[in-house]
Amino acid sequence: MTFNQNQTGRRSTLRLWPGIAIVAVQCLIAYGLPAVAPDAEPFGWPIGLIGVITGLIGSIAVVGWWLFFSRAPWVERVGAVLLIVVAVAATRLLVHESIAGAGMGMLLYISALPGLGIALVIWAVLTQSLATRTRRVLLVGAIVVACAPWVLMRTSGVMGGSGSAFHWRWTPTPEERLLANADDAPSAVAVADVPATPQANPAPSEAPPPAAAVTDTAAKRTREAADAPVEATPHAMDEPASRTAPAVAETADAPAEWPGFRGASRDGVIHGSRVSTDWTASPPQELWRRPIGPGWSSFAVQGDLLYTQEQRGDDELVAAYRVSTGEPVWRHRDGVRFWESNGGAGPRATPTLHGGRVYAFGATGILNALDARSGRLLWSRNVSTEASRRVPDWGFSSSPLVVDDLVIVAASGTLAAFDLDSGVPRWIGPRLLGSYSSPHRATIDGVTQVVLLSGSGAAGVEPATGTLLWQHEWEGGGTPIVQPALIGDGEILVNTLAMTGGAGTRRISVRHAGEGWTVEERWTSNGLKPYFNDFVVHEGHAFGFDGSILSCISLEDGTRKWKGGRYGNGQMVLLPEQDLLLVMSEEGELALVSASADKFTEVARMPALNGKTWNHPVLVGDLLLVRNGEEMAAFRLSSTSVALPER
């Protein structure tokens, strides 16, 4: 042990055992238990979160031991702590922006401080017999070594239940690799050569730009004033439709097979599809695969075209691809980029198809109406400006909802409605607390309304005027992300967030009483705590993600029936005729799970995508479309019913 000279000339022993004990317990709880029991939830808290808290407590305890109980010379006690503070501050200036902003700016401190505490203890143990000068030089070296990895790494964002995904700083991102590919543009052809979708005649001052204005892919469109349908944005341009672009539909009124986010009812339920469950004998057949820009958008599908949103460099895209081949057909670009450390770059919402048009809401607040066949811009609004809501931390995430002659989006907690044909603002709804959820159409007691989950709770508004009909407050609730579930006339499942993720699920009963409305809480359950992973309802039960594990609860009282299967922060759709859940895991695996309340049963599983996958899958007939922030792919699932016609 190290001996230090005291005032009488005698040497005192450096007390090491408390530091060793603290580090041992810290490593066991913070690193050991999450590795061997990643699904454990002691005291109802995820083991990963307990590990993070333990690491921070351990680092504080190490500093306390070193300052007050180590018997080290005071110059070393104070000097080591000051050196750690300076090292962390310097590291903060040098780390990649993805680490500097991750975890609301706290990732570096949360992750680096426990390592620095461990480095301090290891240094004290290994240098106990060395000369003072040598020991102090090695202290500087130990702290530098503990900080160096954070300067050399970047993160691609958080992963459910397992912290952040780290990469070497110098490795290219999937987006950078995509941008290096110069052969990814649609075949050039004048947009005017592609028949435009029939549209209402706008007023002269609100006329959309002519087709010829977008035939040059390098040209930037000059925006009109903010009070006109096409308003000021950094820039917008289109990559024109390929020469062989098919008609979207025989008429503009033909319904889309999959009109937008989570299907026509936004409930993730797919009727009429039956797929083979024996993936050993009849595995899904991959039809095509191609890289795509980052974003958490899903798909809208009509005919041989699929529509999605993505980011490519400084441009946010709405893009159309062929369902049959994955080839690009057209792209519309807006010169904006949204990025944050946890979710990365790109738009969060999914386009909506209606009447031969594509309505798309970008992460910075740009709402576009585009011709579905050609991608020609019809009108555009900046909803952030219209609704007076700043871009939220994780970006605008609302998928547009069409109700009658309106397109409605949620600008954080404020609903905003625009004329479907012209884009003229029709109303701005009440200002609620933040929300990443999308507006949801509902009919309660015969009254059509738009339901939105927000930090204020749940609310229903009158779609024609935006008038607040009813509101249910969830005291202490956070900013919800998932959709409400309509389980009967006026019976709704709602959700909110806590600091640790999902806070629970609540059933409310909404009734129209005379001139007003009543809202009653039926039950609140912590057996299903979705974060940003939507759930489905089937046969009197709700199936979804409780953290990163699937769970089933009863609609009668909210009691949990089972919990099992690790799929991270994945997504799912329901095949009700087969009592099946089609699950897309966060790591890109595809699984079939029995939608039965009896027990958790995984029927089949296979890898489908590479990389973190938060996007909702889409199944049209027997054709499965999946994507994430790196690639998208199409699979044909062996069907037990009549397959879709050849495209």
* Spatial separation of the C-alpha atoms in residues 150 and 156, rounded to whole Å: 14
In what helix (H) or strand (E) does residue 546 lie, and over which residues does it extend? strand 541-546
Q: Is the dihedral of CA 30, 32, 35, 41 positive or negative?
A: negative
Helix H segments across 16-171?
A: 17-27, 33-36, 47-68, 74-94, 97-100, 107-126, 132-152
Whole-angstrom CA distances from 438 to 88, 311, 329, 356, 415 are: 40, 20, 27, 22, 9
* Spatial separation of the C-alpha atoms in residues 118 and 580, rounded to whole Å: 48
Q: Residue 247: pLDDT band by 50, 70, 90 thresholds?
A: very low
Max distance between CA atoms of the chain, in angstroms, equals 99
Given 3-state DSSP classes, what are the helix, strand and coil percentages for the chain, each rounded to the nearest 5? 20, 35, 45
Unique residue bearing structure tokens 């609310």: 459
Q: Is the pLDDT of residue 255 over 90?
A: no
**Range from 96-110, 341-355, 633-647 carrying the lowest mean pLDDT:** 633-647
305: which residues sit within 8 A by CB, 6+ positions away? 245, 246, 248, 320, 321, 322, 323, 329, 372
Q: Is the pLDDT of residue 640 over 70?
A: no
Q: What number of residues does the chain have?
A: 647
pTM for the model: 0.86
Instruction: Beginning with the edge strand found earlier in the chain, give each strand of the sheet holding 516-525 in spatial order.
Output: 485-488, 491-498, 501-513, 516-525
Domain limits, the chain: 3-171
Q: Residue 158: pLDDT band by 50, 70, 90 thresholds?
A: confident
**Apex 127 CA angle, 139 and 58, nearest 5:** 65
* Spatial separation of the C-alpha atoms in residues 299 and 620, rounded to whole Å: 11
Residue closest to 296 by CA, chosen among 570, 499, 98, 567: 570
Q: Is the pLDDT of residue 246 over 60?
A: no
Residue with more model confidence, 318 or 34: 318
Residue 11: predicted pLDDT: 45
* Spatial separation of the C-alpha atoms in residues 139 and 123, rounded to whole Å: 6
- Three-state DSSP at 57 gives helix
Give 421-461 as a DSSP string: TT--EEEEEEEPSP-----EEEEETTEEEEEEEETTEEEEE
* Spatial separation of the C-alpha atoms in residues 587 and 628, rounded to whole Å: 10
Whole-angstrom CA distances from 474 to 99, 372, 453, 462, 498 are: 33, 40, 10, 21, 11
Residue 502: predicted pLDDT: 81
Which amino acid is present at 307? Y
The helices-and-strands tally (H runs, E runs) of the chain is: 9, 39
Task: Tell me the pLDDT tens digit for each residue of 180-239.
Answer: 986 777 865 433 333 333 333 333 333 333 333 333 333 333 333 333 444 435 556 677
What does the block give as tokens for 355?
Answer: 């009447």
In what helix (H) or strand (E) does residue 279 lie, and over which residues does it extend? none
Q: Is the dihedral of CA 33, 38, 40, 46 positive or negative?
A: positive
Residue 161: predicted pLDDT: 57
Residue 617: predicted pLDDT: 98
**Range from 297-301, 339-343, 497-501 carrying the lowest mean pLDDT:** 497-501
CB 572 within 8 A of CB 551: no
* Spatial separation of the C-alpha atoms in residues 258 and 616, rounded to whole Å: 12
Residue with more model confidence, 262 or 477: 262
Residue 107: predicted pLDDT: 87
Distance of alpha carbon 618 from the chain centroid: 16
Q: How far apart are the first and last CA of the chain?
A: 78
* Spatial separation of the C-alpha atoms in residues 80 and 83, rounded to whole Å: 5
Residue with more model confidence, 266 or 194: 266
CB 92 within 8 A of CB 100: yes
CB 460 within 8 A of CB 415: no
Of the CA atoms within 13 Å of residue 155, those in its CB half-sphere come to: 27
Which amino acid is present at 235? H
Residue 358: predicted pLDDT: 98
Helix H segments across 127-173?
A: 132-152
Mean pLDDT of 386-405: 96
* Spatial separation of the C-alpha atoms in residues 20 and 26, rounded to whole Å: 10
